[in-house]
Structure 1
Amino acid sequence: MSSHATPDPYASPIAFGQRMQILRERRGMTRQVLAGLLGKSPDWVKSVEAGRMQAPGLEMVYRIAEALRVRELADLTGHGEHTVNLFAGPGHPRLGAVREAIEQLALGTPTSPPPTPAHLAARLEVAWAARHKAPDHRDKIGALLPGLIRDAQLAVQHAETPSDWRAAQAVLAETYSLAQFFLAYQPDASLLWRVAERSMVAARQSGDPHAIGVSAWLLAQAHRDTGPSHYDAADDITAQAIEYLEPLLPDADDEVLAVAGALQFEAGYTAARRGATATAWSRWDTAREMAERLPESYYHPITSFSQAIMGAHAVTVAVELHQGAESVRQAARAEATTIPSRPRRARHRIEEARGYHLDAQPDVALATLEKAHEAAPETIRYNGYARGIILEACESKVTARRRRASELAVEMGLLAA
């Protein structure tokens, strides 16, 4: 190997600073950008990378890992025994029952007639409404999912006509989509992947454009959130789904149009993760134009796509591009818009907080996370970005900020009272 080649951080126990530099350069990130994300100076970053100072404390290591999109602390520290998934929240008490329902084969003859697809669709509508309205939305849908999963599987297996079978497959795909929202950021990535793939298979079997679009949207998210090595797969999925839906759009109903818009934004989200500024904003603009074709009061129950969500999406693009000042500007523009879903509103507040954090406004970031907690505690509790900002503030030298962050951390269950 050439002496100028980038060393592999996994090949030998390289010092922390060297690993940090290797991972930073692989992301194409300058010292100035990393320093800005960490609230440090470029000289501080250079000193750590050169080994002129000791590796920072755990909370700063956490922040470095987040900034570099390192999913395991071991990738950065070199200590395998300290492997910690940075983006996984705690396991929900209902996770075991949901897992059991997903893994159950549901073989044999049912003791009573399986519910019809129409009946299951009505139950799903109740479940989505509960998710949007409840602050403890994971608990609500976690209670409903086991029965929905089992009944949807039975409906597919015992459908008596081809049309009933396709309708049951569409309901099963949407049930798995609901399960994906429950499983997100929980410590069972393999289960989430299984659900995402099953949803896509069921959607294709159904032939229903809406089901196919939703399943593709969620499968692309699963790839995007896995990291840079999956960005190409995420782009391929969104591109194929958009190409499939495009001929249908002139005569499409609001649901299909909304899913197509959500896919356009999803492509922009992945572009922002890549740092492709022009593509990210272009996709956002296309999605905005599609949102304007929907009624002003319309809100898609699964993707949240609507006119109301576009301001929140603009904040996300700016944050993912590490544009702190632009994130704050977009947050101010989006402030007047009310997002009807509590968990989606909380997610937007978290994205705003990330923007304020990037813009070196830690107290505003904390205040914004308090609003997220008020909207939906279970959203912020499972969000790695929110936890990182709060735990960093818990180490602040500013007494009032440290106290405020510690109180929020205790409420979220991150710290003992």
Structure 2
Amino acid sequence: MSEQHHAAAPAAPSFAHRARTARDRAGLTRPVAAGLVGRSAEWVKGIETGAIGMPRLPMLIRLATLYECDLADLTGDERIAAATYTKSTHADLPAVKRALTTYRLTPADREPESAEVLHARVRSAWKLWHGGGGHRSRVAALLPDLLADTRQSVRLLEGTERRKALVAQAQTYHLTQLFLAFQPEPELIMLTGDRSMTAAQDADSPRAMAGAAWYMNHVYRDASEAAEARVELAEQAASLLRQDDPEDLARWGLLQLAVALSFAKTGKAGLAWRYWDQAQDAARRLGDGYAHPWLIFGRGLVDAYALTIHLDLVQPGKAVEAAAALDLAAVPSATRRSFHLIEAARAYGMQHEGVAAVALLQKAHHTSPETVRFNVHTRMVLPELARTGPRMVREDARELALALGVAT
């Protein structure tokens, strides 16, 4: 009887291999990844070499969120997706999605709006975004019409008016990108980032391109794309700006901050702080009372992002010091203040100071409820604090989780 030879099926990648691959794709070093999930670099090495087995679901979710991948990329189980557990969907997401993917091919039965009117509408939308309360819901109600009207004006206007309308369109895409952040539609976030930059380039406006580069940096950073791409984009946009003009200088300083955050995300402390110093110098030249009306760049914002840099560089002690010294009154945006309060809670959480962490999350929720509701870090840590945090704050953590619709 002849011997039959069967080709052996290739072995499926081990969890250890998948974990290392996901971290490499995210561009994170072991120490940085370890600090962001509250473990040691040796622990990360252990799971990547097989010395430590697959962790339980809560930690798997934290790793998948950090690496911007699905649980299936780590576990091999295609039935599980991280977004199911960590991301909340806004009720108006379908309407905004339709507005982004609906095209009016025939002219509307009315004249296109002027660039002046479009800019006034965009300014009003920015004020709603930075205000307290349900900022996402209020802006979401405006976005479908604003997206359609800017698209029509860009199509029908000519010359200088068209270029001004393109600048308004770029900002409309920024607002859309912010609305989409922390929701389970990463492709739409990439789409709006690309469209905003395209509109800015078509407008031939260095300021618009700088604004688009700042938000594109968020897209790249959140998607864990290579730091080199983020840095190159920011530096190209910054080179188009004049530092003797306040409006240009604000955008230039913001782009230095973007580069600093990109380097911090990949653990390059020296470069991160060098660019942060340049952002701080730009804010100082603009004056202590200055804050850009919609980009919010100023001394308060630069100081607040120092906390995020310490966190991303896994410097919890310094992060707590930065959080304790933070003066958020200098940040004229409820959404931004709420975000930085969440970052402060993250710092205290890394130091295992659950009482302070829960108190700061409560304050962030009071400042801007929808910022907290759609923040992945908050949705990840609240169930753990509700179960294992200090006894005196477990009930507070459970109540906040209930308000956010997070299972504990």
Same fold (TM over 0.5): yes
- Superposed CA offset, 1:145-192 (max 9, x none): 111111111111111x41111111111111111111111122212222
Q: Which secondary structure does the structure 1 equivalent of 2:30 belong to?
A: coil
User: Which of 271, 274, 284 is matched with 2:276 structurally?
Assistant: 284
Q: Indicate the residue corresponding to 1:12 in structure 2.
A: 12
- Superposed CA offset, 1:77-114 (max 9, x none): 22222132389622211112212222222222221211
Q: Indicate the residue corresponding to 1:241 in structure 2.
A: 237
Mapped to 2, the partners of 1:226 and 1:23 lie a distance apart of 12
Specify every segment of 5 or more residues in structure 1 that has no aligned partner in the other structure, as ranges. 1-9
Mapped to 1, the partners of 2:143 and 2:93 lie a distance apart of 10
Mapped to 1, the partners of 2:228 and 2:81 lie a distance apart of 26
**How far did residue 314 of structure 1 move?**
0.6
Greater Cα shift, 260-269 or 36-45:
36-45
Identity among equivalent pairs (%): 34
Q: 1:210 touches 1:256 (CA, 8 Å); kept in 2?
A: yes
Q: 1:71 touches 1:87 (CA, 8 Å); kept in 2?
A: no
**1:109 is aligned with what amino acid?**
P
**How far did residue 38 of structure 1 move?**
4.7
Structure 1 length normalisation: TM-score?
A: 0.87
Mapped to 1, the partners of 2:271 and 2:45 lie a distance apart of 31
Q: Which secondary structure does the structure 2 equivalent of 1:80 belong to?
A: coil
Q: 1:135 touches 1:343 (CA, 8 Å); kept in 2?
A: no
Mapped to 1, the partners of 2:85 and 2:407 lie a distance apart of 17
Q: Indicate the residue corresponding to 2:388 in structure 1.
A: 396
Mapped to 2, the partners of 1:52 and 1:226 lie a distance apart of 29
- Superposed CA offset, 1:8-31 (max 9, x none): xx97241x456546656884315x
Q: Which secondary structure does the structure 2 equivalent of 1:410 belong to?
A: helix
User: Which of 357, 367, 379 is matched with 1:387 structurally?
Assistant: 379
User: Which of 67, 71, 75 is matched with 1:69 structurally?
Assistant: 67
Mapped to 2, the partners of 1:259 and 1:367 lie a distance apart of 34
Mapped to 2, the partners of 1:51 and 1:100 lie a distance apart of 45
1:363 and 2:359 are equivalent in the alignment: no
Greater Cα shift, 300-309 or 42-51:
42-51
Relative to 1, partners in 2 of residues 1:19 and 1:137: Cα closer, same or farther, differing over 3 Å? same
Residues 50-65 of structure 1 mapped to structure 2, 5 A cutoff = 55-65=54-64
Mapped to 2, the partners of 1:206 and 1:34 lie a distance apart of 40
**1:57 is aligned with what amino acid?**
R
Relative to 1, partners in 2 of residues 1:150 and 1:21: Cα closer, same or farther, differing over 3 Å? closer
Residues 344-363 of structure 1 mapped to structure 2, 5 A cutoff = 344-363=336-355
Q: Indicate the residue corresponding to 1:138 in structure 2.
A: 136
**How far did residue 50 of structure 1 move?**
7.0
**How far did residue 362 of structure 1 move?**
2.2
Specify every segment of 5 or more residues in structure 2 that has no aligned partner in the other structure, as ranges. 1-9
Q: 2:238 touches 2:255 (CA, 8 Å); kept in 1?
A: yes
Mapped to 1, the partners of 2:227 and 2:219 lie a distance apart of 10
Residues 176-187 of structure 1 mapped to structure 2, 5 A cutoff = 176-187=173-184
**1:314 is aligned with what amino acid?**
A
Residues 139-218 of structure 1 mapped to structure 2, 5 A cutoff = 139-159=137-157, 161-218=158-215
Q: 1:63 touches 1:388 (CA, 8 Å); kept in 2?
A: yes
Q: 1:60 touches 1:392 (CA, 8 Å); kept in 2?
A: no
Q: Indicate the residue corresponding to 2:106 in structure 1.
A: 108
- Superposed CA offset, 1:101-150 (max 9, x none): 22222222221211110011111111111111132110010001111111
Residues 11-30 of structure 1 mapped to structure 2, 5 A cutoff = 12-14=12-14, 16=15, 19-20=18-19, 27-30=28-31
Greater Cα shift, 292-301 or 86-95:
86-95
Q: 2:257 touches 2:302 (CA, 8 Å); kept in 1?
A: no
Relative to 1, partners in 2 of residues 1:222 and 1:38: Cα closer, same or farther, differing over 3 Å? closer
Q: Which secondary structure does the structure 1 equivalent of 2:88 belong to?
A: coil
Q: 2:300 touches 2:327 (CA, 8 Å); kept in 1?
A: no
Relative to 1, partners in 2 of residues 1:27 and 1:175: Cα closer, same or farther, differing over 3 Å? closer
Q: 2:16 touches 2:48 (CA, 8 Å); kept in 1?
A: yes
Relative to 1, partners in 2 of residues 1:397 and 1:72: Cα closer, same or farther, differing over 3 Å? same
1:260 and 2:244 are equivalent in the alignment: no
Q: 1:62 touches 1:73 (CA, 8 Å); kept in 2?
A: yes
- Superposed CA offset, 1:56-95 (max 9, x none): 33223223445x5353222222222213238962221111
Mapped to 2, the partners of 1:401 and 1:41 lie a distance apart of 26
Residues 25-40 of structure 1 mapped to structure 2, 5 A cutoff = 27-30=28-31, 38-39=37-38
Relative to 1, partners in 2 of residues 1:175 and 1:23: Cα closer, same or farther, differing over 3 Å? closer
Relative to 1, partners in 2 of residues 1:346 and 1:86: Cα closer, same or farther, differing over 3 Å? farther
- Superposed CA offset, 1:327-373 (max 9, x none): 01111221364422111011101111111122222221121111111
- Aligned-residue Cα RMSD (Å) equals 2.6
Count how many residue pairs are aligned between Structure 1 and Structure 2: 397
Mapped to 2, the partners of 1:338 and 1:406 lie a distance apart of 31
Greater Cα shift, 332-341 or 132-141:
332-341
Q: 1:235 touches 1:267 (CA, 8 Å); kept in 2?
A: yes
Relative to 1, partners in 2 of residues 1:325 and 1:157: Cα closer, same or farther, differing over 3 Å? same
